């Protein structure tokens, strides 16, 4: 590639690869390699002799009629960076000083441009350094904030862990205290013989239950003695005695006197002495429907007794007409606490009565205060409508579709653990309980025998049958007392 340089005079271009002695008649510029602008620092040399080829070149241009090939002053051409060239320029007489001055001016311009570029680069570098410093400061600031946030989070985590450890310790202390109380209760037993042998005389049979026979006895007063009919029944009686001894005396709870030897067909057996009642509510209903005032008074006594049981931390679990005793004057008391448990204790077996407790109690083997509300609502339904919840649900069970009945049978087999293919015939009450659990049957309405009962009371009784978890005892008791106020004079409703 040929290289040109601005000059005055007649130029002669020499290839960069030509290695020869430069004629002395030419002005020689030797570019320095390795620079961004190699011609900026070129050296200027002057020779005295004229190269003979210069005249030949000029004559060649003149013979062709071409213009003088001398380059105009100030016109610049780039010089190759990779291969420095020797650029020879023929200078006529009188133009040497002008050429030297021109090259000096070019060199100064190039030097000034380079200094300007260097200054711009330095300014740009300074700006970049300032940005780097700012970014570094921002990074340090964010890092500091991050460290502070991490310290706060670690502090919160430590506080949370400390609180959790404290709560766990408190919970463990409560559980230990509860276990101690349970152990104390288990150690507390009613005396095996509160009365000497022969001091209790049997005067008749009062009735019989699932695990005990009730006899009418006379000590120095009339009482009822529950005599166990098996070893398991004796454990239930012992448990009932422990629960009644824990419950404080209340006018709506049966009173416990203690143990006494009772003569039976099988011999002398220790019986549990209890307060003697007129009859059970179930036997009382056999006489016929009750007046609404009498029924409401019994329900009010049941609510009061159940409220006292809950205040002492227990649930009855088997409220039904059989376990409600009536006394002279229209009073009623809760009895039969053999299935009672502490509130929210773990339930391992079903001890309730089918259709008087919630379906979940049987299907899921669970117990809760809602079972007592369901039992109370079944008794209220029986007293105010003259019909039983069991009869109503069994009537609906008979009208189930084939697919619904098959679903009930499958669920019954699953609950009882009976394999498919084996003969299985579940009890009708079991089927009705499962059908109610599956939502196939339910109590649809409460139709009272007397039309003057408050509508709110009937709605709450229906709620206690369908969803007893949503019914509060105080609310039902307030409804009953409000209905009594409407039905009875004030002076007769003071007990």
Which 3-state string (H, E, C) describes 244-308? HHHCCCCCCECCEEEEEEEEECCEEEEEEEECCCCEEHHHHHCCCCCCHHHHHHHHHHHHHHHHH
Determine whether domain 201-274 maps to CATH 3.30.200.20. Answer: yes
Residue 265 pLDDT:
61
Tokens of 441: 């049957």
Q: Which residues of the chain have pLDDT under 70?
A: 1-96, 99, 181-198, 264-267, 489-495
Query: What architecture is the 279-492 domain classified under in CATH?
Result: Orthogonal Bundle (1.10)
Residue 489 pLDDT:
63
Q: Which tens digit of pLDDT belongs to each residue from 347-387?
A: 878 888 999 999 999 998 888 899 999 999 999 999 999 99
DSSP 468: G
SS3 341: strand
Helix axes 473-487, 455-466, angle to 10 degrees: 150
For residues 257-284, one letter each, b for 16 or more C-beta atoms within 10 angstroms of the residue's C-beta and e for the rest, the string is bbbbbbbeeeeebbbbbbbbbeebbbeb
Q: Give the torsion sign (CA, 160, 162, 164, 166).
A: negative
> Is 223 in contact with 273 (CB distance < 8 Å)?
yes
Helix axes 428-438, 389-397, angle to 10 degrees: 80
Give the helix/strand (H/E) hosting 216.
Answer: strand 212-218
238: number of Cβ within 10 Å: 18
Residue 463 pLDDT:
95
Give the helix/strand (H/E) hosting 226.
Answer: strand 222-228
d(CA 479, CA 466): 18
Residue 380 pLDDT:
96
Q: Which residues contact 96 (CB under 8 A, 6 or more apart)?
A: 27, 46
SS3 319: coil
Helix axes 369-385, 473-487, angle to 10 degrees: 20
d(CA 231, CA 212): 11
- Angle among Cα 288, 294, 299 to the nearest 5 degrees reads 105
d(CA 21, CA 24): 9
Q: Which residues contact 333 (CB under 8 A, 6 or more apart)?
A: 251, 252, 253, 254, 275, 277, 301, 305, 324, 325, 327
d(CA 475, CA 486): 17
Helix axes 369-385, 389-397, angle to 10 degrees: 90
Q: Where are the domains of the chain?
A: 1-157, 201-274, 279-492
């Amino acid at each position: 590639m040929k290289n040109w340089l601005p000059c005055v005079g007649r130029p002669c271009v020499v290839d960069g690869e030509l290695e020869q002695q430069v004629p002395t008649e030419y002005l020689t510029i030797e570019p320095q390699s390795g620079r961004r602008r190699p011609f900026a620092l070129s050296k200027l040399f002057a020779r005295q002799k004229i190269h003979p080829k210069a005249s030949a070149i000029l004559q060649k241009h003149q013979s062709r009629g071409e213009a003088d090939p001398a380059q105009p002053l100030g016109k610049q051409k780039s010089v190759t960076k990779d291969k420095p060239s020797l650029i020879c320029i023929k200078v006529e007489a009188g133009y040497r000083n002008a050429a030297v001055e021109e090259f000096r001016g070019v060199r100064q311009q190039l030097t000034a441009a380079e200094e300007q570029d260097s200054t711009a680069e330095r300014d740009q570098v300074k700006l970049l350094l300032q940005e780097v410093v700012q970014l570094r400061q921002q990074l340090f600031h964010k890092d500091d904030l991050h460290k502070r946030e991490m310290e706060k989070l670690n502090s919160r985590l430590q506080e949370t862990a400390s609180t959790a450890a404290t709560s766990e310790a408190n919970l463990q202390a409560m559980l230990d205290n509860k276990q101690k109380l349970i152990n104390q209760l288990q150690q507390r037993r009613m005396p095996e013989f509160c009365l000497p042998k022969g001091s209790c005389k049997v005067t008749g049979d009062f009735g019989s239950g699932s695990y005990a026979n009730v006899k009418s006895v006379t000590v120095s007063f009339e009482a009822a003695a529950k005599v166990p009919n098996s070893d398991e029944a004796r454990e239930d009686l012992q448990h009932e005695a422990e629960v009644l001894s824990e419950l404080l005396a209340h006018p709506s709870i049966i009173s416990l006197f203690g143990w006494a030897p009772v003569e039976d067909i099988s011999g002398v057996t220790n019986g549990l002495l209890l307060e003697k009642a007129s009859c059970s509510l179930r036997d009382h209903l056999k006489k016929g429907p009750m007046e609404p005032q009498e029924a409401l008074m019994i329900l009010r006594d049941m609510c009061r007794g159940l409220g006292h049981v809950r205040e002492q931390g227990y649930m009855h679990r088997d409220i039904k007409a059989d376990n409600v005793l009536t006394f002279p004057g229209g009073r009623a008391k809760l009895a039969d606490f053999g299935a009672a448990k502490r509130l929210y204790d773990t339930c391992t077996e079903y001890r309730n009565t089918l259709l008087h407790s919630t379906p979940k109690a049987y299907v899921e083997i669970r117990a809760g205060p809602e079972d007592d509300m369901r039992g109370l609502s079944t008794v209220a339904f029986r007293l105010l409508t003259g019909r039983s919840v069991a009869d109503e649900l069994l009537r609906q069970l008979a009208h189930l579709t084939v697919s619904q009945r098959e679903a009930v049978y499958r669920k019954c087999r699953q609950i009882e653990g009976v394999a498919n293919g084996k003969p299985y015939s579940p009890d009708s009450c079991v089927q009705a309980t499962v059908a109610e659990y599956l939502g196939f049957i339910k109590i649809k309405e409460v139709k009272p025998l007397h039309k003057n009962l408050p509508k709110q009371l009937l709605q709450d009784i229906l709620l206690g049958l369908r969803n007893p978890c949503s019914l509060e005892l105080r609310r039902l008791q307030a409804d009953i007392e409000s209905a009594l106020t409407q039905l009875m004079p004030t002076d007769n409703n003071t007990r």
